Amino acid sequence: MTAVSVRHTDLADRGVLITGGGSGIGAALVEGFAEQGARVAFLDIAEQQSQKLAGRLSEKSAHPVIYLKADLRNVAETQAAVDEAAARLGSLSVLVNNAGWDDRHELDAVTEEYWDDSQAINLKQMFFVSQAAVPHMRKAGAGAIVNFSSIAYLLNMGEMPAYTTAKAGIIGLTKSLAGRLGPENIRVNAILPGMIVTERQKELWLTEEGIGKMVARQCLKRVLTAEDLVGPCLFLASNASAAMTAQTIVIDGGAL
């Protein structure tokens, strides 16, 4: 159950596609849209946890929550998955480009192959998922795309240059797509999360000391969780933000 108390009635029955919905922030978003009565599909490479989530949410939601397996680095596979999602949802007018891979990497160790793989999952796929979704949004007569960037690229972080380059690129992509698609009534905005403490983040990167330092830096003195992203994302997807496009919103507890 997410903590969102606002009901966006226009999201009920709306076709929504979320990438990387199997865990972390994406899973909270899948649940948040399902709670609004939207028709939700999500793409993820991690089969087991995604099937479990879809099963759990389908039992309590107005519509079955659809999971489709896709490796977003494979453009053809992803395009086919977007078309299948749209067909099974009945229509598609919201896309949340959430999937990412914030692997840490040392400057001297980055190979060409590593760099390309990082861009493939963090940046390139966002363009091609959007490209595949747009014809369905045109058919629906309107659309909203929400891209997940990060405050990481504004913090001069030295331990993940490929990731932060991609996250900065997402802002360029957001503004460019907004300019191209605005005349077709398709809005494109971005969210920049701060430090969001998920199970995976705790397992892989975060220490109690690191979390403490970020909380001390934030204006709000508490740990941020995946649920904190749900309200802002629903807002950008819904008619509540009908005149808003080409913008970025920072959800970081006031760390910047």
Tokens matching residue 90: 């009945």
Nearer to ligand NAD, 185 or 201 (CB): 201
In the three-class reduction of DSSP (H, G, I as helix; E, B as strand; rest coil), residue 91 is classed as coil
Applying CB under 6 A, among 33, 67, 128, 148 the residue interacting with ligand NAD is 148
Phi, psi of 102 (to 5 degrees): -95, 45
Per CB under 6 A, the list member of 99, 177, 181, 190 interacting with ligand NAD is 99
Distance CA 218, CA 229 (A): 16
Per-residue contact flags (x/-) with ligand NAD for residues 152 to 191, judged by CB under 6 A: x---------------------------------------
| Dihedral angle of Cα 183, 185, 191, 197, to the nearest 10 degrees | -150
Convert residues 51-70 into a mask of x (bound to ligand NAD by CB under 6 A) and - (unbound).
-------------------x
For ligand NAD, the closer of residues 92 and 99 by Cβ is 99
If one asks whether residue 32 binds ligand NAD (CB under 6 A), the answer comes out as no
105 contacts ligand NAD (rule: CB under 6 A): no
Q: Which two tokens stand for residue 58?
A: 């389908």
- Dig out the tokens for 163 from the structure: 């990731």
Residues in the chain: 256
Does the footprint of ligand NAD cover residue 232 (CB under 6 A)?
Answer: no
| 204-231 b/e (C-beta count within 10 Å ≥ 16 → b) | eebeeeebeebbebbeeeebbebbbbbb
Residue type at position 82: V
Q: Which listed residue (11, 134, 195, 237) binds ligand NAD by CB under 6 A?
A: 195
31 binds ligand NAD (CB under 6 A): no
Q: What are the catalytic residues?
A: 163
**Residue 138 interacting with ligand NAD (CB under 6 A):** no
User: Residue 121 interacts with ligand NAD (CB under 6 A)?
Assistant: yes
